[in-house]
Amino acid sequence: MKTAVVILNYNGKHFLEQFLPSVVQYTTEAQIIVADNLSTDGSVEMLQQKFPQVQIIENTHNEGYAGGYNSSLKQVQAEYYVLLNSDVEVTPQWLSPLIQLMDSNPTIAACQPKLKQFHQKTHFEYAGAAGGFIDILGYPFCRGRIFQEMEADTDQYNDTRPVFWASGACMVVRSSIFWELNGLDAAFFAHMEEIDFCWRAHNSGYQIYYCAESTVYHVGAGTLSNSNPQKTFLNFRNSLATLYKNLHTFRLIYTIFIRLVLDGVAGAIFLLQKKPTHCWAIVRAHFDFYKKIPFWMKQRQNVIRKKDGFDLLVYQSSIVWMHFVRKKKKFSELQF
């Protein structure tokens, strides 16, 4: 088929049982595939018994989100890949507006729907809300979500428009561009890989979009809980790697230095909150990043640069300052 909805799964049997029925019911115009990252919870056996219409790809080991998708998508023939988390509930007619948007403009590399919370459906969801942006220091935020502040959806973001990054929780990607950019960065394992991919797409002259006509509901933190220090490690390490790979040289040294200072502040806050393992995760993230700079340098050299992706879609101020000092809680309160 033209479109393949690919759900990457790792020990998410309970999510598949809960949410795959909505995907099957409301996705008649696409092939549905579950790519399993060597689960040990009986996911594959359950799929074979309860969802015989769903194709299964069985990966030989767990390569994380990025590597798992890269390996799986090599086995999928489609014009569009839909990367869909297993903890997402889709809605009637969720897919058609996304595909229509992609069809309308060949320079769109990827797009996302409106992402709202499954457990509080009146509010936007952390992972993508109404489209992602970054600030001048590389901190990600969304229309509808700044750090832990999630806005209620009052139709304030019902405009389909370009954004800086689309959420990996539900992202439609043009397959030709996906492979032109060498897919997701498998070294990330999980977290921030979609931001890195979208930034590389901008560098190559493509666009990323938010589609307001489509809505899905996301549980969030389904595979790796926010309380897990490994998630802190991956977020901080991968954020530094994203900056190193994509920023132009004259911005890079200054930005990494400022992030070192701010990450130190974040570590101190974790200590005050009596979360020493998360503080240590930040320290490990920095040591791991610096140790692998020769590797990230090679990754940086492989980035296709047709234009500066650090353009008007980047917030030219510090979201940390605006939120924690100036007390701005909504995207509409920013001078963007």
250 pLDDT tier (thresholds 50, 70, 90): confident
307 pLDDT tier (thresholds 50, 70, 90): confident
Which stretches of the chain are DSSP H helices?
13-26, 43-50, 64-73, 96-104, 175-180, 193-203, 229-246, 249-272, 276-291, 293-301, 319-320
Instruction: Decide if pLDDT at 334 tops 90.
Output: yes
Q: What is residue 227's predicted lDDT score, i.e. its pLDDT?
A: 77
Say how far apart CA 209 and CA 163 lie, in whole Å. 5
Task: Quote the mean pLDDT of the chain.
Answer: 95
Mean pLDDT of 223-244: 89
Instruction: Decide if pLDDT at 223 tops 70.
Output: no
Q: What is residue 28's predicted lDDT score, i.e. its pLDDT?
A: 92
Specify which residues 83 forms β-bridges with: 6, 171
Q: What is residue 225's predicted lDDT score, i.e. its pLDDT?
A: 67
Closest by CA position to 204, among listed 179, 168, 235: 179
CA 188, 147, 161, 215: dihedral to nearest 10 degrees?
90
Q: What is residue 19's predicted lDDT score, i.e. its pLDDT?
A: 98
Instruction: Decide if pLDDT at 280 tops 90.
Output: yes
Mean pLDDT of 42-67: 96
Say how far apart CA 295 and CA 216 lie, in whole Å. 37
Mean pLDDT lowest among 82-86, 93-97, 250-254, 296-300: 250-254
Cα–Cα distances in angstroms (integers) from residue 324 to residues 54, 96, 120, 148, 278, in the given order: 46, 39, 25, 11, 20
Q: What is residue 52's predicted lDDT score, i.e. its pLDDT?
A: 96
Mean pLDDT of 112-122: 97
Q: 302-322 burial, b for 16+ CB within 10 Å, e for fewer?
A: ebeeeeebbeebbbeebbbeb
- 28 Cβ contact partners less than 8 Å away, ≥ 6 residues apart: none
Q: What is residue 297's predicted lDDT score, i.e. its pLDDT?
A: 93
Instruction: Decide if pLDDT at 143 tops 90.
Output: yes
Instruction: Decide if pLDDT at 336 tops 90.
Output: no
Q: What is residue 222's predicted lDDT score, i.e. its pLDDT?
A: 59
Mean pLDDT lowest among 147-156, 250-259, 268-277: 250-259
Q: What is residue 174's predicted lDDT score, i.e. its pLDDT?
A: 98
- The tokens 């309380």 sit on which residue? 227
- The tokens 């809300």 sit on which residue? 129
Mean pLDDT of 48-58: 97
Q: What percent of the chain has pLDDT over 70?
A: 98
Q: What is residue 224's predicted lDDT score, i.e. its pLDDT?
A: 62
Cα–Cα distances in angstroms (integers) from residue 221 to residues 12, 84, 176, 226, in the given order: 12, 14, 30, 6
Say how far apart CA 281 and CA 76 lie, in whole Å. 36
Mean pLDDT lowest among 79-93, 220-234, 255-269, 295-309: 220-234
Q: What is residue 249's predicted lDDT score, i.e. its pLDDT?
A: 79
Q: What is residue 275's predicted lDDT score, i.e. its pLDDT?
A: 96
Q: What is residue 251's predicted lDDT score, i.e. its pLDDT?
A: 84
Contact 126, 190 (CB under 8 A): no
So what CATH class is 3-218?
Answer: alpha beta
Say how far apart CA 147 and CA 211 lie, in whole Å. 22
Please report, for the chain, the start and end positions of each structural domain, with discontinuous segments joined by +. Answer: 3-218, 229-305
